[in-house]
């Protein structure tokens, strides 16, 4: 079974500052890991995914995440926040079966001018 924990339901950063959103996972099999972004009143859009290739994964909009097996983590980072990054971010884990994806509770990112 898979599960994911996102640390911090709200994160606030200043424009231009580093963004760090934390995700820890639990999986009984080698995991597939995902970050999704959701803008207000919209669906989820895939930011990036880890599928057992490179441990440092680059996604859209300048985001990246690093898979650390020893820490069971998949934290999302962006060097310099932009106002347009304000959204809710979801981490998700799957064992590779098409019906076992599990999502975290989400982290709302606020970007201050």
Partner 1 sequence: DVKVTQSSRYLVKRTGEKVFLECVQDMDHENMFWYRQDPGLGLRLIYFSYDVKMKEKGDIPEGYSVSREKKERFSLILESASTNQTSMYLCASSFVDARTFYGYTFGSGTRLTVV
What are phi and psi for residue 35, nearest 5 degrees? Answer: -120, 130
**Nearer Cβ to partner 1, position 18 or 46?**
46
For the CB of residue 43, give the shortest distance to partner 1 in the complex, in Å: 4
Among 69, 94, 90, 88, smallest CA distance to 3 is for 94
What is d(CA 113, CA 111) in angstroms, rounded to the nearest whole number? 7
Binding site for partner 1 (CB under 8 A): 9, 32, 34, 36, 41-46, 49, 51-52, 90, 92, 94, 96-99, 101, 103-106
For the CB of residue 97, give the shortest distance to partner 1 in the complex, in Å: 8
Token reading at 105: 């509770």
**Nearer Cβ to partner 1, position 62 or 96?**
96
């Amino acid at each position: 079974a898979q599960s994911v924990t996102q640390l911090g339901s709200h994160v606030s950063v200043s424009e231009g500052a580093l963004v760090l959103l934390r995700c820890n996972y639990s999986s009984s099999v080698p995991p597939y890991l995902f970050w999704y972004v959701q803008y207000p009143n919209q669906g989820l859009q895939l930011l990036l995914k880890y599928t057992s290739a490179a441990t440092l994964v680059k996604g859209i909009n300048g985001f990246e995440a690093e898979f650390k097996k020893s820490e069971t983590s998949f934290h999302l980072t962006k060097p310099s926040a932009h106002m347009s990054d304000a959204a809710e971010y979801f981490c998700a884990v799957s064992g590779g079966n098409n019906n076992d994806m599990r999502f975290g509770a989400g982290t709302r990112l606020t970007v201050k001018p």
